[in-house]
Chains A and B, each alone.
Chain A
C-alpha cells in the first residue's frame, strides 16, 4: 500500500557549537530512534499501515530495524510497514530536502519531522501543501511544539486516516522569504537575523554584540533563540496576520537593554533600538552594508553592499498538523473507542 505518512528525522541536529558555548542538549541517536518507534506504534494504532522514512547513516534506522526484529520475535504486531526513500545519503541538509520531495511525490498525506527549527525549515522548503507535524529534537526548537511524540503520532494517524475534518486537523503558518535581487534565495519559518559576521563558518549565532536586525513570523516569550527577543517585547501568535521587525544594536549603543534567553541556558543583555509590526506581503528592504543572514538560528547567506536584500512575510505559506485540535476532536467524537470483547 502507498505510504500515508512520511518521517524525516535529522540525525545531526543538536550537534553545533552551542554544545560548547552553552549547555545545549545532545539528543542521542538511540533517543531519536525511540521517539520514532513511539510515533510508529501510535500511527499503527490509528490505522496507518505504511510509512515512508528518510534514509540516513547515523544509526537511527539500524536501531529501528533491531526493534522491528525484536517485535517480530515476540510476535508483537505493533508497527506499520516501514519503507525507506531511495536516495544517495550525503549526511547534510540535502538529505532532508530530497527526502521531503520524494515523500510528496510518493503521495504522503502528512510528513512528521524530527529536528529543530533548521530541519523544519528544510522540510517546509519542499513540502508544498502537505501538512507537517513537528517533534522537537534540535537546539532552539521555537517552531516544533514540545509534546510527547506518541500523541503527535496519534494525531497524525487520525488525520492521515481521514477521521478528522481538515478544518480541525490543519492550520496555516507564516513564512519569511529572503530575496536577493529578483530571486528568492531562501526562507525562514521562525526568524531572520542579520548579524555582522560576514562569513558562514560554524553557522550558529551566539554573540549578541553582532546582532543587528531581527524579523520574526511569531514571537513567544516561552521560547529560546533569536525569536525570544521579539517574544519578550511583544508576543505575536502563529495565527496573527503580522510578524515583527526588531532593530538591534550593540548593548553599549542601544536605546534599551533586554535580558533574553537567546541560546539554551544563556540569558544575556541584548541591545534593542525599536520594534515594529511587520505586515504580510510587504517587502522590507534591508538597510545594512554587509553581514550574514541567519535563518532560524543558523548563518546561511553572506551579503554585502552590492546585494539588494529584501525580506517579506508570507501568510498561509505552509500547513501544520494541529495536534491539540485533533486530540480534542478525537475525545469529543470517541475516535479512540474500541468495542469491548
Chain B
C-alpha cells in the first residue's frame, strides 16, 4: 500500500505547496514593500486564503477561464501567471503583465486563462458567463470560475449571472471566498439572507460549503464540482470559509477585528501550516523538502522585487497602445 493517503501524488502535492507558499510570500513581501511607498495604487492581499484558490485551480487547465477580484494576486499565481510579470505590473513597470498600465487590480494573462483581476466588485461574474458560453459553444470542455467576496455577493451582476448560468446551464462555478468581512461592513448589517447556499438554491444551483483553510477539503469538493460542470452538469456554487491575515487593503487599521483575532488566525487557521502538518505528519513530504521549497520561493520573490524595481516605467508614447483589442 502506498504511504500517500492523499488524493494527489507527491509531485502534485509539492506543486500545490509551492503555489500556496509563493502566494504567501508574494503577499507578505508586498505588505512590507507597500509600506515603503514605492508601489502606486492600492493592493489587497490574499494571505491566509491560499488553500481556496490553489485547491480549486489544481483542477484547471489553461483552457479553463477564471475571473478574479480586486484581491487577485493569489488567483493569478494559482492559475499559473508568472510572479515576475505580476510584480512588475504592481510596480507599474513596462515589463508587467499589463505593461504597467493596470497595476494590482488588473493583472491578466489570457494565455493562462486568467481573465483578470477586477477593480469593480462583482464584475467577474458576467465575464465568466461569457467565457463559459464560449466553451459550451466550442464544446472544448472548458469551465469558468468566478471568485467574489461576501460583499460583492450583493451586487446585481452576481445575481443576474447566477440566473443566466442556470438558465443556459453554463459550466460556471461561483466561488464566494468568505473571510467574514465585506471590507469592514458586518454581514448582519448588509445582507438580508446571509447564507450563500440559500441564494444559489433560489436559482436552482446546488451549493456546497467547505472549510477554506483545509486545502484537501477545497480540493475534493472543487474536483467534484468542476468535473460535473465539465461534463455538462451545469453551474454550481462553492463557499470557502476562510480567514484573511491582512486588512481589506494595505493601510486598513482593522478596527473591526476582535482583539487577538489576527494572532489566533495565524496560529490556528493558517492553511499552509495545516497543509504542512498533514503532508509531513503522514510522512509523504519531509520538513526538509518543504523548507527547501520555502527557500526557493523566497529567493524567487526577492528576485522579482529587485527586477521590478529596476525595470523601466512605461513612457508617454505607450499611453495609447494596448487600449483597444483587434478582433
CB-based contact A200/B197 at 8 Å: no
CB-based contact A202/B206 at 8 Å: no
How many Å lie between the Cα of A11 and that of B195 in the bound state?
9
Identify the closest chain B residue to A203 (Cβ): B217
CB-based contact A16/B220 at 8 Å: no
CB-based contact A17/B208 at 8 Å: yes
> For A198, what are the chain B residues with a Cβ–Cβ distance below 8 Å?
5-6
CB within 8 Å of A: which B182-229 residues: 187-188, 191, 193-195, 197-198, 200-201, 206-211, 214, 216-217, 219-221, 224-225, 228
CB within 8 Å of B: which A1-54 residues: 11-12, 15-17, 19-21, 23, 26, 28-30
A57 at the interface (CB under 8 A from B): yes
> For A200, what are the chain B residues with a Cβ–Cβ distance below 8 Å?
214, 216-217
Interface range, A side: 20 to 34
> For B278, what are the chain A residues with a Cβ–Cβ distance below 8 Å?
199
A-B contact count (CB 8 A): 88
> For B194, what are the chain A residues with a Cβ–Cβ distance below 8 Å?
29, 57-59, 62
B7 at the interface (CB under 8 A from A): yes
A334 at the interface (CB under 8 A from B): no
How many Å lie between the Cα of A28 and that of B195 in the bound state?
8
> For A12, what are the chain B residues with a Cβ–Cβ distance below 8 Å?
209
CB within 8 Å of B: which A286-321 residues: 289-290, 302, 304
B276 at the interface (CB under 8 A from A): no
CB-based contact B241/A20 at 8 Å: no
User: Would A201 and B217 be within 8 Å (CB), given that A20-B228, A20-B236, A58-B194 are in contact?
Assistant: yes
CB distance from B151 to the nearest CB of A (A): 16
CB-based contact A21/B209 at 8 Å: no
How many Å lie between the Cα of A197 and that of B216 in the bound state?
12
Interface range, B side: 20 to 34
> For B216, what are the chain A residues with a Cβ–Cβ distance below 8 Å?
199-201
> For B221, what are the chain A residues with a Cβ–Cβ distance below 8 Å?
17, 20, 201-202
User: Would A17 and B195 be within 8 Å (CB), given that A26-B201, A199-B5, A199-B6 are in contact?
Assistant: no
Identify the closest chain A residue to B237 (Cβ): A19
> For A62, what are the chain B residues with a Cβ–Cβ distance below 8 Å?
188, 194
> For B236, what are the chain A residues with a Cβ–Cβ distance below 8 Å?
20
B1 at the interface (CB under 8 A from A): yes
> For A202, what are the chain B residues with a Cβ–Cβ distance below 8 Å?
208, 210, 217, 220-221, 224
CB-based contact B1/A290 at 8 Å: yes
User: Would A19 and B217 be within 8 Å (CB), given that A28-B201, A29-B193 are in contact?
Assistant: no
A91 at the interface (CB under 8 A from B): yes
Q: Please tell me which one of the listed residues A92, A199, A289 contacts residue B1 in the complex, with CB atoms under 8 A apart.
A: A289
Identify the closest chain B residue to A304 (Cβ): B5
CB-based contact B208/A15 at 8 Å: yes
CB distance from B79 to the nearest CB of A (A): 22
Among A28, A91, A289, A302, max chain B CB count under 10 A is at A28
How many Å lie between the Cα of A278 and that of B194 in the bound state?
44
How many Å lie between the Cα of A29 and that of B214 in the bound state?
25
> For A197, what are the chain B residues with a Cβ–Cβ distance below 8 Å?
7
CB distance from A305 to the nearest CB of B (A): 9
Among A17, A29, A91, max chain B CB count under 10 A is at A17
> For B210, what are the chain A residues with a Cβ–Cβ distance below 8 Å?
17, 202
Identify the closest chain A residue to B227 (Cβ): A20
User: Would A26 and B198 be within 8 Å (CB), given that A20-B208, A202-B220 are in contact?
Assistant: yes
CB within 8 Å of B: which A172-199 residues: 197-199
> For A199, what are the chain B residues with a Cβ–Cβ distance below 8 Å?
5-7, 216, 278
Identify the closest chain B residue to A16 (Cβ): B208
How many Å lie between the Cα of A302 and that of B225 in the bound state?
24
How many Å lie between the Cα of A152 and that of B144 in the bound state?
45
How many Å lie between the Cα of A59 and that of B186 in the bound state?
12
CB distance from B234 to the nearest CB of A (A): 10
How many Å lie between the Cα of A89 and that of B107 in the bound state?
36
CB-based contact B225/A20 at 8 Å: yes
Q: Please tell me which one of the listed residues B187, B191, B224 contacts residue A20 in the complex, with CB atoms under 8 A apart.
A: B224
A-B contacts, 27 listed (Cβ < 8 Å): A11-B195, A15-B207, A15-B208, A16-B209, A17-B208, A19-B207, A19-B208, A20-B206, A20-B208, A21-B224, A23-B206, A28-B198, A28-B201, A29-B193, A29-B195, A30-B198, A57-B187, A59-B193, A62-B188, A197-B7, A198-B5, A198-B6, A199-B5, A199-B216, A200-B214, A200-B217, A289-B1
The 6 lowest CB-CB distance pairs between A and B, nearest first, are A198-B5, A59-B194, A201-B220, A19-B206, A202-B220, A15-B209
Taking A20-B208, A26-B198 as known contacts, 19 extra A-B pairs with beta carbons closer than 8 A to each other, sorted by chain A number, are A11-B195, A15-B208, A15-B239, A16-B208, A17-B220, A20-B221, A20-B225, A26-B200, A26-B201, A28-B195, A28-B198, A29-B194, A29-B195, A198-B6, A199-B6, A199-B7, A201-B219, A201-B221, A202-B210
